[in-house]
Amino acid sequence: MTRVAIFWYIGEDVRRDIVEGVENFWINNSMQMVKICFELCNFEANMDTMDTNIPYHIPVMLHETVDGMNVAPGGVYADMTFGGGGHSREILRRMDATARLYSFDQDADAERNIVDDERFTFVRSNFRYLRNWMRYHDVEQLDGVLADLGVSSHQFDEGELGFSFRFDAKLDMRMNRRDGLTAADIVNTYDEERLAEIFYLYGELLNSRKLASVIVKARVQAPIETTGQLYETVKRLFGRDREKKEMAKLFQALRIEVNEEMEALKEMLQSATELLRPGGRLVVLTYHSLEDRLVKNLMKTGNVEGKVEQDIYGTKPSPYRMVGKVAVASREEQEENPRSRSAKLRIGEKR
């Protein structure tokens, strides 16, 4: 942190005392302090021109994903995960005046980032309802569908949402806070077997049964209502060297269950496949093996289960042609945005 930044954080009263005391500092020949005071004055005078906003979300592999969309004149596109609007804005930048973009997000906070553009339509809904909303807007076919399946930086960094164990907050985790079960509801009402199944399937936690047992015993004494209470309940089951990674898996499992993420993703992928015209692109960023497996299966076999269905000639080609290889973020991007490290980009073109 620079000297100026340090002085900015020490408080208005102290800064005022320093500025008012410049004359005394001068008399005492404290030239270094005089210099800091003038730097401080310049810093404070220029605050209005500084961007003090914290980014809602930093889009991952921005240009690679939008390049994969192959944006064309007059095209109709859908961004399944609007979030901070980074990908949508780049798509709009490449569209001509006759093209259209429909962007989905169920998080009310994402509405703060809505783009003022007549070619743009914001859909406040879970992307599992893609087909219904396209029918509502009289859209029969799409030229491109983009889905960035990662949780936004905003959702991780807003402690009150309960997505991260870095903050002590209510166990909520709902992306749509208008309805549905919270993580606290699941932790306190699901039976031990069901909890263990969730932790194993969605968190890939090998000690899922032990975790479920400890939680069920603890909630008899008192409900587990906050992220801090959950952390304290289970932390002894994780070794110190693995604690953060295992806790992240546990919170991932609860988040997936709360938001029915796997079911929603399956429905969206199926709808996208039906809506894409020949030559249309499906562009998907995944962040963990569960969702990546569904996308990989769809592009390879035409269904999320990965079942290879044969015709009378013994083959049934996938409805997609893979465009390039699976891509990951560059080393530079991973250093600048650590949340891009687990991202995988898959692009399929409808046959």
Copy the structure tokens of residue 333: 């991007």
Which residues lie closer than 8 Å to 199 by C-beta, 6 or more apart? 205, 208, 211, 212, 250, 253
| Residue 280: CATH number of its domain | 3.40.50.150
Q: What is the mean pLDDT of residues 129-153?
A: 93
In a domain, 113, yes or no: yes
> For 313, left (φ over 0), alpha (ψ -120 to 50), or beta?
alpha
Q: Are residues 176 and 145 part of one domain?
A: no
Q: Residue 174's domain spans which residues?
A: 154-259
Q: Are residues 148 and 21 part of one domain?
A: no
The residue ranges of DSSP E strands in the chain, in sequence order, are: 76-79, 100-104, 120-123, 142-148, 276-286, 320-322, 344-350
In a domain, 146, yes or no: yes
Helix (H) or strand (E) holding 340: none
Which residues lie closer than 8 Å to 241 by C-beta, 6 or more apart? none
Lowest-pLDDT range of 4-18, 90-104, 129-143: 4-18
Q: Residue 108: what pLDDT?
A: 82
What is the model's pTM? 0.80
In the predicted structure, residue 46 carries a pLDDT above the cut 80: no
**Is the model more confident about 254 or about 179?**
254
276-286 and 142-148 strand pairing: parallel
Number of compact structural domains in the chain: 3
In a domain, 57, yes or no: no
Which residues lie closer than 8 Å to 78 by C-beta, 6 or more apart? 101, 102, 103, 104, 130, 134, 142, 144, 145, 146, 272
Compute CA 199 distance to the chain's CA centroid, rounded to the nearest angstrom.
20
Q: Residue 158: what pLDDT?
A: 60
pLDDT tier for residue 268 given thresholds of 50, 70 and 90: very high
120-123 and 276-286 strand pairing: unpaired
Q: Are residues 267 and 125 part of one domain?
A: yes
DSSP lists the bridge partners of residue 347 as: 283
In the predicted structure, residue 308 carries a pLDDT above the cut 90: no
Q: Are residues 145 and 85 part of one domain?
A: yes
Q: What is the mean pLDDT of residues 279-298?
A: 97
**Is the model more confident about 192 or about 53?**
192
pLDDT tier for residue 219 given thresholds of 50, 70 and 90: very high
Q: What is the mean pLDDT of residues 331-339?
A: 94
**Which residue reads 């907050």 in tokens?**
169
In the predicted structure, residue 150 carries a pLDDT above the cut 90: no
In a domain, 56, yes or no: no
